[in-house]
Amino acid sequence: MESFKKFLNQIIPITNEEFENTILHFKNKTVLKNSYFIEQGKVCHQVAFIKKGTLRTFYLNENAEEITSCFCIENNLTTSYKSFILQEPSTLIIQALEDTELLVIDYDDLQQLYKESLVWQTIGRAIAEKQYIVMEQYASVLCNETAKEKYLRLLKEQPSILHKATITDIASYLGITRRTLSRIRKEITL
């Protein structure tokens, strides 16, 4: 719970009493390796704080190919935000790359926290703003960086992903082919 409290305190200082009230709304959940936290076509009812483990967010393109859009690592939040906010079926799939321990809150409980707590109104807004920035940065990186620059960024920002995800998943996340990724990896190790 300390990592979750630290995460919240980075957004806004939260008192012990506020944290105790907050934690009452959360439940522990384990997602086993290769199992799904969120499935395509189902409504997403939870937001998760990742205590331990790694998740991959992806969607299926028009050719039914998996396109990875995010690797979600420890001490971060994840969900299918559009599905969660609108309470409509998800177009995204979130799958565990390893056994993953989550702290989850249901939609109705989160709405209750927003009603009861000014702190949670601030946390909710800050998280929404952060997610928007992350999405915009990812789009910018895909459009403006070379394949090698994108790989070096991943190596710097999320090095553990290189040992947990398949080369196919990493290549799709970077918007490059497996062949290009293999070439870049060889160049860098020389």
Mean pLDDT on 157-177:
93
Q: Residue 52 and residue 30: Cα distance in Å, rounded?
A: 9
**Confidence at 190, pLDDT banded by 50, 70, 90:** low
Mean pLDDT on 52-68:
95
Q: Residue 28 and residue 99: Cα distance in Å, rounded?
A: 13
- Report if pTM > 0.85: yes
pLDDT at 33 over 70: yes
Q: Residue 38 and residue 27: Cα distance in Å, rounded?
A: 16
Helix, coil or strand: residue 142 = helix
Domain definitions of the chain by residue range: 2-143, 145-190
- Name the architecture of domain 2-143: Sandwich (2.60)
For 11-28, the pLDDT digits (tens) are 989 999 999 999 999 999
Mean pLDDT on 37-49:
97
**CB-based contacts of 75: which residues, under 8 Å, 6+ apart?**
3, 6, 7, 49, 50, 51
Q: Residue 83 and residue 71: Cα distance in Å, rounded?
A: 18
pLDDT at 100: 98
Considering the chain, what percentage of its residues have pLDDT values greater than 70? 99
The vertex-164 CA angle with 70 and 129, nearest 5°, equals 25
For 125-166, the pLDDT digits (tens) are 999 998 889 888 888 888 888 999 999 999 999 999 999 999
For residue 95, how many C-alpha atoms fall within 13 Å in the half-sphere facing its CB?
Answer: 17
pLDDT at 189: 76
* Better pLDDT: 168 or 140: 168
Nearest-CA neighbor of 27 among 108, 92, 95? 108
Helix, coil or strand: residue 82 = helix
For residue 123, give Cα distances in angstroms to 7, 39, 43, 75, 106.
10, 26, 23, 15, 16
For 82-140, the pLDDT digits (tens) are 999 999 999 999 999 999 999 999 999 999 999 999 999 999 999 999 888 988 888 88
**Confidence at 74, pLDDT banded by 50, 70, 90:** very high
